[in-house]
Structure formats: structure tokens, C-alpha cells
Chain A
């Protein structure tokens, strides 16, 4: 169920460039699952289109998003005060498929930059399912505010600053699943790693969106079956379905 909800800002902090935006949005909080996103409406003359932002965490009625200042639209968002009401639309997209990842499974969750954000919501869910989770995160600069929350939900956490997250991956992994979100070159390297070890891999992609509802056909991703919509068919795909070089 997709909901167009008025959300009130309960907390809004900047932690070394990663903005945590906590919203009172009980309907979306109840419906959302890991890997899904919301459209955040700016509704101003210079920013008429909503911004797709992944869900970082849900605690009861509070939906928390993490974003970085990527352009003029997200820059305008950084000014929003606590108590301000905005409109959001969600939960959108398919999310990660994790139903079968139970207590006997070992899972690798691999993130880069702000791509680590949706992986926290994912990791909490995997933890509740008692899967054994290894976390690998890569950042350009210090991002301890994004790393710290993972502690307590994962068996191992490895962090790389300034290098390649894939350099930390073990030579004989034996994971039941690899779940990743981050820059395209990183995810492509993760997908290659997964394939070479014959492990299934889910990748979370992004693309410029207008409606978020599958109506405008704007946010396409090239796949083995042609163009598919990032908002509706994705944002998560089996890595073997994605045509990376398109």
C-alpha cells in the first residue's frame, strides 16, 4: 500500500555531512520494509519534483531517512527545522528479498557512502531473523555516525576509509546472500565477487525519478529484459539481471 502522508520532523541532525531526518509518519512506518524508499516533496518553484530517499530506520511511528547534500534540492532540505511538516509518499519499490535468510544463513551486507543508509534497516531485520551478518562498509571520509548503529546487530563489522570495500572481502566466503547498496562501480565489483564465488547478490540502484509510482517511465535501468523502472521494478535487483555497462 502506497501512502501520501503528512509527516512532522521530530529530529534533524547533521553528522559529518550525513543528515538524519526523523519523521512522525505512522502509516508509512507500519508498511515499510528494508530496501524501500520514500519520495520527499519539496514543492517549491525551483524544486517541483520530489526526492527519492531510502529508509534508514523505523522505530514505532518514526521513519528516519539519511541523506547527503547532493544538489540544490537536498540543500534546501537541510534547512528544515524540527516541527516542520512535509509530505512524503511511500513505502515505494520492492525492497530486499530476505524472507529465507534465517538463523542458519550467513549474509554479507556491503555498503558504500550514503548507500550504507538503507542497509541499517536491512541489518536490523536480518538480526531479528537471526541470520549471521557480516558488514562491510566503505567511505571516502570518516562516517562513524553511520557505522556505530550497526554494532550489536552484526557478527562482524569491517570499515574501509578511502580505499575499496571489496578489498576487505574474504577469499572463501560461503555466504548464502550478498546484499549491497552504494556507488555503481562498487556494486559492480561486489556483483563480480559474488558471481565468481557462485553466491546470489541483490543490488540496490538509483536513478532520477519524477513520480515514484511507475507512471512517468522516467527512472529506467537497463536490464537483461530491457528497460525496467527503478521506482517500481526496483530499486533492488538480482545482480545478474542488471546490465552494468549500459
Chain B
């Protein structure tokens, strides 16, 4: 027998396989293809205090080994999520991670307070979305702002806060340390890498927002490197992500220092991919004689 249980920021997950925010809707979209009970956790699409309309189309563009997106965190508000989507998720034996979005410190506080008295396992504080003008990534690229927003949200949230970091920085460790100082219970990384694509015949950017976030296998080496750097610099558990498409990718992240991993764009390439990754990890452990997944965490 082997154990896949991991402890992410004080929350026990039955295995380290989670979904990345924005790629798995609110869970119900993938229920026909994934046994949601077998996921360690579901991270839902980002929610904000007020409804957000999102960016104009086109919002997606395919690129080599990945895709660009500029959705702009379209969501019907935390209140709508709590009323319409959460009851469905709570029918399953999996942990729920809610991704919190804002454009200002006040926004982040308001959305955190929307969840007062609501049963959520973990919050993922999104200070790294490249597709919103204010807040979003601006807070995730400045250590002082990152610490301030972390502190404000931690003080008001009833569940642990993991902070989702942007790769669009020179020194990822300094941002992670700032979040640790602000009281974060964990770090999740990486969000998408800022990119752009031009339609040379129309002579225009493909995305309505001009720029967008690159995700998918193309960014995986960047993500593994940043997980490794953050694991070496803070004393917090890490939810690692960025281009995970196979079980081998997931093992790489865990060896680099991630406690759990999240699958993102690969859900679009194969809606059942999370189950295949989980089964691959189990076979790998059996073959390698690994009895506890935590044995290989951060061994690099």
C-alpha cells in the first residue's frame, strides 16, 4: 500500500491532484468526465465581491505548446457562487479551494467577508491575474503590496489562505517571503506568463485585451524553476502548477518542492486528464517503491 495523502496549509487532501482556477469552472462542468471524489481538491473559477463582465473577445488564442487567455476573471460574484455552485461541490468528498479576486485592497476584503460563515476549505488569494487592469497582478509583483493584502485577508478569513503568485517578476522568492510575513498559510504558483499574439493578415492582436496569460506545457520549465526557488526560500507548503499535462510533470513539481499540484490547461486537451495523472502517479510509486508521496517532496 502507498499513501497519497498530503497536508496543504493544514488541510488534508486525499491525494495531491487538484485543478487550477479558471480551467475547471465550478466543478460541475467536468463531472461527466471526472470522478470528482477522486480529486485532492477543486479550485474553482475566481470570484469577486461584485459581478465582473470580463474582457472583450477574442479571449483565447492557441500557441505552440500552450494557449493565451485574456478572460479577465468574468464571474457572477461570490454571492452567486455560494448560492448556485457551492451546494453541488459540497455533495462530493473533495476539498474546495476558492480563488479570490479584487481590483483593490477593499475589493479583496469585501470578497473575503462574503465568505463569512461559509464552509470553504482553503482560499487562494489571486494577486497574479495578468488580465485585469488594477489589482490583480499589480499586487503580486510588489512585495509590500503583496504583504499588505495577505495580512488584510488573513485577518478576516476563517480558513487558511494560500497566495497565488505571478511569474511576471524578477525575484519570485521576495514576493513569497512577503506573503509569508503577511501570514499566508501556503503559496500557489505559477499563474500565467504575460504574452501576446498577432494576426499578421488582419494586422491586429488576436486577443481583445491585446495581451494575455500564457499557460500550458510551454511554461512548465519556468513553473518548476519557480516552485523550486520558492520551496528553498519560505517555510510554507506549495500548490504547484503551470503546464502540468502528464503524471511525470506532476512528479517533477512535487520533487521541486510542491506539496500538491494543480492541473490547468490540460483539462481542455483531455477532460479526464486529472484521473489519468492520478493513476500514473500511483503506478510510478508502486514501481519505484515509494510508500508515501511525501517521501519525494522537495528532494531536489
Spell out A's residues near B (CB within 8 Å): 1-4, 41, 43, 45-50, 73, 87, 89, 207-211, 213-222, 226-227, 246
Contacts and interface: CB of A to CB of B under 8 A. Distances in A.
A4 B54 contact: no
Interface stretch (B62-70, B148-156, B181-189): B62-70
A37 to B, nearest CB: 16
A215 B74 contact: no
B174 interface: no
Given A2-B33, A217-B22, 14 more contacts: A4-B272, A46-B64, A48-B269, A49-B268, A208-B58, A208-B60, A210-B67, A211-B23, A211-B25, A214-B25, A215-B24, A215-B267, A217-B45, A217-B71
Contacts of A209: 60
Given A214-B25, A217-B45, A220-B57, A47 B74 contact: no
B45 A220 contact: no
Contacts of A43: 269-270
A49 B62 contact: yes
Interface in B59-116: 59-62, 64-67, 69, 71, 74
B216 interface: yes
Contacts of B60: 49, 208-210, 216, 218-219
Contacts of B57: 207-208, 219-222
Contacts of A213: 25, 29-30, 271
A87 to B, nearest CB: 7
B251 to A, nearest CB: 20
A50 B22 CA distance: 17
B65 A45 contact: yes
B53 interface: yes
Interface of B: 22-25, 29-30, 32-33, 45, 53-54, 56-62, 64-67, 69, 71, 74, 216-217, 265, 267-272
A71 B59 CA distance: 18
B53 A48 contact: no
Contacts of B269: 41, 43, 48-50
B199 to A, nearest CB: 11
Contact of B23 (A45, A215, A226): A215
14 contacts: A46-B64, A47-B62, A48-B65, A49-B268, A87-B270, A211-B23, A213-B271, A214-B29, A215-B25, A215-B45, A218-B59, A219-B60, A220-B57, A227-B54
Q: Which 7 A-B pairs have the closest CB atoms?
A: A215-B25, A218-B60, A215-B29, A213-B29, A218-B59, A210-B268, A217-B74
A220 B217 contact: no
A45 B246 CA distance: 13
B195 to A, nearest CB: 15
A213 B24 CA distance: 9
B54 A48 contact: no
A246 B61 CA distance: 19
Contact of B268 (A45, A50, A220, A222): A50
A46 to B, nearest CB: 5
B65 A46 contact: yes
